[in-house]
Amino acid sequence: MSNRLAGKVALVTAAGQGIGRAIAQIFADAGAAVIATDLDRGKLDGLRAKLHKLDVRSQDDIDALGKQIAREFSSLDVLVNCAGYVHQGSVLDCTDEDWDFSFDLNVKSMHRMIKTFLPAMLEKKTGSILNIASAVSSIRGVPNRYVYGATKAAVIGLTKAVAADFIQQGIRCNAICPGTIESPSLYERITAVSQDTGRPLDAVRNDFVARQPMGRLGRPEEVAWLALFLASDEASYITGHVHLVDGGMAL
């Protein structure tokens, strides 16, 4: 793994925990200069990276970070859009506010980040953009993931559109679609379902495990290994694709 990203500058959103943190750590181990961002700056402590508080729902925040990166690095080589939110419920549980928030955080934030950082990539004629989507999307429907699945399907569409528009200008754009991954956010959902239904935490967790054909949850680093490959020059002929790391969930 050593030096696979040597000389590259990578920005990772939502790097404070879970998949985002694992990606930031592995990128740093591979020699990248990592810019790690999160809405909660304190969650970034311990990462070997430049640490920034960032609200990906704020264009002003993104513009300010973009100017700082332009001064320090000129441009990014890798952009990883990892920020997201999982809404629990069906269409009957989804208010207009739930819909708008989910699409703003899960989809429009990626639009904001790409629109801000793509021009400098185009000037350099190289760049890899990775968008974290999900197996729960246009790939597979799962109960009580109505608006979440809709947003992640939109991420897949966004990814393909960016890849198609800039394929001849040195830009690659791919989507990573995890299955159910061990993370703090997963345990927040398990706790919420347990509280809503009155079922024990272990029983709710077992439901999440049961939908994984491998019989276990994925680990954040298993998603990060795929991100490392797609960010590296080893994946220079790969763009516009959906890459599952889901333990067979989509079978």
Structural Rg of the chain based on CA atoms: 18
CB contact at 8 A, 11 and 117: yes
Helices and strands (H, E) in the chain, number of each type: 8, 7
Helix (H) or strand (E) holding 117: helix 109-124
Residue 23, Cβ neighbours under 10 Å: how many? 32
As a residue count, the chain comes to 251
Tokens of 111: 């639009």
Torsion 242-243-248-251 (CA) sign: positive
The strand pairing partners of 136, in sequence order, are 140
Return the half-sphere exposure (C-beta side, CA atoms, 13 A cut-off) of residue 75. Answer: 17
Asked if residue 110 lies in contact with residue 155, where contact means CB atoms within 8 angstroms, the answer is yes
Active site residue 146: no
End-to-end Cα spacing for the chain? 30
Do residues 135 and 250 lie in contact, with contact meaning Cβ atoms separated by under 8 Å?
Answer: yes
Cα–Cα distances in Å, from 104 out to 58, 138, 154?
10, 18, 11
Query: Per the residue annotation, which of 146, 148, 187, 237 is the catalytic one?
Result: 148
d(CA 147, CA 133): 13
- Residues forming the active site: 148
